[in-house]
Amino acid sequence: MIASIPLQPPVQTAAGTFAADVLEGLTRPGQKTLPSSWLYDDVGSALFEVITLLPEYGLTRADAALLRGAAGAVAEMAGQPARIVEFGSGSGSKTRCILEAALASRPVEYAPIDISRAALENCASNLRGLPGLTVRPVEACYLSGLAETLAGRGTDDRTLLLFLGSTIGNFSPDQAATFLRSARQQMRPGDSLLLGADLVKPREQLLAAYDDPLGVTAAFNLNLLARINRELGGEFQPGRFAHEARFDQQHSRIEMHLRARVAQKVWIEGLHRIVSFEAGETIWTESSYKFLTSDIAEIGAEAGWTIAQQWVDHEWGFAETLFSA
């Protein structure tokens, strides 16, 4: 049976970091911004799970299909890892096939790292029943959680790091290389990284995926304002903002914004600050960069990883790339 270890506390105080990011992002001159990681509180994580089921959002289905087909090869090429660590595990449903493949040869410790406690609890619950699996959830930011997970590891055990979905697309190419380099510096020779990345595709297809007709993505984006209200005593009226998806062809990225429908001033008690908005002004909440397969290999190489294998879903346009340290 699965062994589930209680959640470890966050490495840093999430509430304080959230407040600092909101203050910096909403009071900076020029374009207001908020980090996309804060979209994923308990409500946001639940809404994102719904997004993954929408017909317009084929990314998650492509990701899952590739993982099912490649799971055995990934486990073998990663050296039958004793530990599997995942950045942003979500419900863990896509990860199950990788875990099953690894468990076929040995017991495995699985460490999902996420800032959403509810997502981690859901992940551990969904994986209950896999023989030989120990789950050690870590509620933390990615790199600090990785350091905590790898502390005191054995001398011979290999680690497979999973960064699935398209979360790497939330970084610019330079930021992605820097992030993957920081992860590589914590790994040992013989460790591996399985990286998911969304590929370049037609503008109309991308916009439909990030602005669905049911409005689930809009609710996901607007929940960030509701989160500020809940956690920082904000007085946002989400109905006075509109979800907006844009495609920047020059940089090959989708952008999500929250656009003020009218000029307004918003009091945020936790910051002791009034934030002013002009009509039409936006808060930039997410970037999702799209890649060529060659881009992924180059970013990994720049970060110090060596490409071992790449699997591509040509119907949606998605790639899983296995790198070795």
Q: Tokens 């999430």 belong to which residue?
A: 14
Residue 311 placed within a domain: no
The answer to the question of residue 319 being in a domain is: no
Strands, sheet with 32-33, edge to edge from the N-terminal-most edge strand: 32-33, 282-289, 253-260, 241-248
Is residue 15 predicted with pLDDT exceeding 70? no
| 75-93 pLDDT per residue, tens | 999 999 999 999 988 778 8
Q: In whole angstroms, give the CA distance from residue 311 to residue 197.
A: 11
Instruction: Collapse the DSSP code of 254 into the 3-class scheme (helix H, G, I; strand E, B; otherwise coil) and give the result.
Output: strand
Residue 278: partners with Cβ closer than 8 Å, 6 or more residues away: 260, 263
Whether residue 41 is contained in a domain is answered as yes
Strand segments, DSSP code E, in 164-205 are 192-198
Residue 47 lies in a domain: yes
The answer to whether residue 323 is domain-embedded is: no
Structure tokens at 31: 């374009």
Distance CA 22, CA 48 (A): 21
pLDDT attached to residue 84: 97
pLDDT for res 178: 95
In sequence order, which residues have a C-beta less than 8 Å from that of residue 135 and are 6 or more positions away? 2, 3, 4, 5, 110, 111, 112, 123, 124, 127
Number of C-alpha atoms within 13 angstroms, CB side, residue 181?
Answer: 12
| pLDDT digit string, tens, across residues 201-253 | 999 999 999 999 999 999 999 999 999 999 999 999 999 999 999 999 999 99
Give the rounded percent of residues in the chain with a pLDDT score beyond 70.
95
Burial group, residue 257, by CB count within 10 angstroms (0-12, 13-18, 19+): buried
Structural domain that includes position 100:
32-130+144-305
Q: How far apart are CA 96 and CA 141, in angstroms?
A: 22
Q: Which residues contact 269 (CB under 8 A, 6 or more apart)?
A: 232, 233, 234, 235
pLDDT at 188 over 70: yes
Q: What angle do CA 279, 40, 199 make, to 5 degrees?
A: 85
* pLDDT of res. 45: 87
| pLDDT value, residue 13 | 45
Calpha distance 268→245 (Å, rounded): 26
CATH number of residue 124's parent domain: 3.40.50.150
Structure tokens at 188: 């040992």
Measured CA to CA, the distance from residue 323 to residue 325 in angstroms comes to: 7
pLDDT at position 14 over 70: no
Q: What confidence tens digit (pLDDT) does each residue in 254-285 have? A: 999 999 999 999 999 999 999 999 999 999 99
**Joined tokens for residue 262:** 């009218």
Q: Look at residue 3 and tell me whether its pLDDT is greater than 60.
A: no
pLDDT in tens, 122-156: 899 989 889 999 999 999 889 999 999 999 887 77
125 part of a folded domain: yes
What are 296's two structure tokens?
Answer: 């992924």
Domain annotation covers residue 15: no
Residue 273 lies in a domain: yes
For residues 307 and 305, give the distance between their C-alpha atoms in angstroms, rounded to a whole number.
7
Average pLDDT of the residues of the chain: 92
Q: Could you give the CA distance from residue 135 to residue 120 in angstroms, rounded to a whole number?
A: 10
CA 180 to chain centroid: 14
Overall domain count for the chain:
1
Q: How far is CA 14 from CA 18, 204, 293, in A?
A: 6, 36, 35
Which pLDDT value is given to residue 152? 81
